[in-house]
Every structure is written in structure tokens, then in C-alpha cells.
Amino acid sequence: MDNSSLAHQRNQLRLFQRFLPSLDLKRQQLLTVQKASQQELAELEQRVTQFTESLTGLFEPLGAYEIELAGLVTVDSVVVDEENVVGAKLPIVREINFQTAPYSLLAKPFWVDFLVEAIEQMCTLRVHLQVQRERVTRLNRQVKRITQRVNLFEKILIPRTKENIKRIEVRRGEQERTAVVRSKIAKKKHSLS
């Protein structure tokens, strides 16, 4: 029983020690991707803020005109795929299509073309921002999960297995000593008789 338990525990230890480095490497790679994604998210948020501020001057004159602009530009479709990054499935924007309502170039002011372009740019930025937030959220979950696994191996499974091996070896040593003592006692009894 002890020999098979010891062999099993040693095999488990070898397996854990072989698996841990690849798991830790994956964690490090995910941390790198997570950091880059968080930086990209911050840059996107800054771009949205800057773009909004740059358009503030344009919105004031728009209020002076009584022109119907509602429905001028609508998002027709957004194609979001998933890509596998270090084992994490992350969303990525593949395509954004807009639909511009037809308008007369003579009936609308000259700045409507610029407004259409600005709306499309803002919508594009916001879609990318939303997808980037989801990427960061998923990466955070993946990093947390992989860190828990690394900790499980480093702090629980490997030390516990080493302790089990030590206990089994101590028990085996005690059994061997007991067997030697019994053998000597039996030998003494045999020599006395």
C-alpha cells in the first residue's frame, strides 16, 4: 500500500512541477496582454474625450439652425468577432457600417457633410471603446483565474504532495525499523531456545 501511494504521490509531484512553469508562462503572457489592453483602453477614452471637446465648437452653431438632423446617420451593422489571445477569447471589431439618410446638398448647410463624418467617427470610436472595455473585462477574469491556478499549484498542491511523500517515507522508515527490531527479537528468542 505504502509503495504504491508513494509512487502515486511522486508521479503527482512530477506532474505538478512539470505543469506549473507552462501555467506561469501563460499567466505572464496574459498579464502583458492585459496591460497593453488597459493602455489601449485609456488611449481610446482619451481620444473620445478629445474628439468630443473638438466638436463642442461645432454644436453651438448647430443649435441656431432649425434643420432636422435626427436620423441623419445610423449604425447599419457592427461585426464583432472573437480572437484567441493566449487562450482567452477576446472580442475584436471587424467592421462598422453606417447608413446616411439622403439629404439635398442645396437644402442643407455646407457643414452637414462634416457633421456626417464627425458622427461616423464618434460612433466608430465609441464602438471600439465598448469592445475594448469588454476585452479588458475578459482579460481581468482570465488573469484572475490563471493566477488562482498558479497559486493552487504553488501554495497548495505541490507543498501538500511533498508533505504526503515525507509522511509516507517516515511511515515506511518506522515500519522498516519495527521490522528490524522484531527480527532481532525473534532471532534472540530463537537463539535462547
Q: Which of 137, 128, 155 is nearest to 43 (CA)?
A: 128
In a domain, 76, yes or no: yes
What total number of domains does the chain contain?
1
Q: What pLDDT is attached to residue 64?
A: 47
In a domain, 119, yes or no: yes
pLDDT-derived band at 40, boundaries 50, 70, 90: very high
Is 177 or 3 the better-scoring residue by pLDDT? 177
In a domain, 17, yes or no: yes
Tell if the pTM clears 0.75, that is, is over it: yes
Q: How far apart are CA 189 and CA 193, in angstroms?
A: 6
Given a cut of 70, is residue 48 above it in pLDDT?
A: yes
Q: Tell me, what CATH number does 116's domain have?
A: 1.10.287.3240
- The DSSP line for 62-96 is HHHS----TTSEEEEEEEEEEEEETTEEEEEEEEE
- What is the tally of helices (H) and strands (E) in the chain? 3, 2
Q: How far apart are CA 23 and CA 169, in angstroms?
A: 29
In a domain, 25, yes or no: yes
Identify the domain containing residue 15 by its residue range: 2-181
Is 5 or 64 the better-scoring residue by pLDDT? 5
Strand partners, 77: 97
